[in-house]
Amino acid sequence: MRRGTDDAGLAYRVVAAIAATTALLLALAASVAAQDAPPDPDPPAPLNPLPITPACPDTSGSGGAIDQNGGAVIGTCWGSSAAGPSRAVSSELVWQWYGCDQWRSFSPGSTVSAVIPNGELLIEDIVARGLDPTVTYVWHTVECTHVQQGAAADGSDIVEVWGWGFLVIGTTPPVDPTVLRDVAAARINPDPPTPASAPMWSEIPAVVHLPTWLWITDDWVPIEEQESQGFVTVVVQARPVETVWDMGDGGSVTCPNGPGVAWSPGLDDSQTYCSYTFESSGAALQGNVTLRWTFRWWLNGNDMGDFGDFTRVSAIGFDVAEIQAIETN
């Protein structure tokens, strides 16, 4: 059973957004032009969201916090693929990180006085901005407190406080969808096949020059697993493809597209597509049956094709006898 999205175009855009993320983050690293005046802090000005680049503090969790006395942020910073160490940074760098320098240059005593989360971005917002859909993003309102020490006529400080727009912060590291694919695939671990034959290989000898029917008793059905991060969901399917029987006498037979036909009284030899005929007798012939599986995967409902296969093997052994006959008139 396939899992898809309601909007095939949306799924396509999600795939495209992954490829665009690196270029976007490089563009965002460029400096932002200074504005003439800070926005009205109540309510926040409707500025375009400015996503912070990955080398920034995450103050939304994992012990991240703003030092209200100095403006320094102690938080978990992450790179392109993994969590990095917690670290303390200067108030000036925090001022720049959170975009307060769009309106006022940093001066001693100035702080990022609040970074307030306002909920997660929806998939439509993520796709529209070309962001990586494997990342969880949270809207934040930023409050900047700018201090000009001793600048007032009476020698007191001039303090301006403003909240600006909405800031988008990624709260989880991005992930390559193929990593999700491989995680899901690793959970698929079917048992080795259960072989059967007529005559039954473990009980009655096969007979020279007569077909031996071969099949496995396992269900011939696909197995599925899925893995998600952010708005990206990967479904992996493993499906059985063929059985290969090594008969122990140097010969083998490949039986595709099914488990084989179980023999029952009254069936004709033409009714099986999986059989083998021994040409000489032998005792305790050691062979095996190999069941081959192939992987296929879907990214947000888009069929991404096959990406590998694996096998499961069970041992078998045959005794092969001859039937003596006397020819008469």
Q: What digits encode the pLDDT tens for the residues 52-84?
A: 333 344 443 333 344 433 333 333 333 322 333
Same domain, 44 and 135: yes
Same domain, 233 and 122: no
Same domain, 34 and 161: yes
pLDDT in tens, 265-293: 999 999 999 999 999 999 999 999 999 99
Same domain, 234 and 253: yes
Q: List CB contacts of 152: < 8 A, sequence separation 6 or more.
A: 158
Rounded Cα–Cα distance for residues 188 and 108 (Å): 58
Token pair 């041992």 is found at 315
Same domain, 86 and 212: no
Type of residue found at 224: E
Residue 1 lies in a domain: no
Sign of CA dihedral 141, 59, 178, 191: negative
Contact in structure between 22 and 29 (CB atoms under 8 Å) = no
Contact in structure between 267 and 168 (CB atoms under 8 Å) = no
Same domain, 142 and 235: no
Sign of CA dihedral 142, 33, 31, 16: positive
pLDDT in tens, 177-193: 999 999 999 999 999 99
Same domain, 151 and 188: no
- pTM value is 0.64
pLDDT value at position 22? 31
Mean pLDDT of 160-178: 80
How many independent structural domains does the chain possess? 2
pLDDT value at position 326? 66
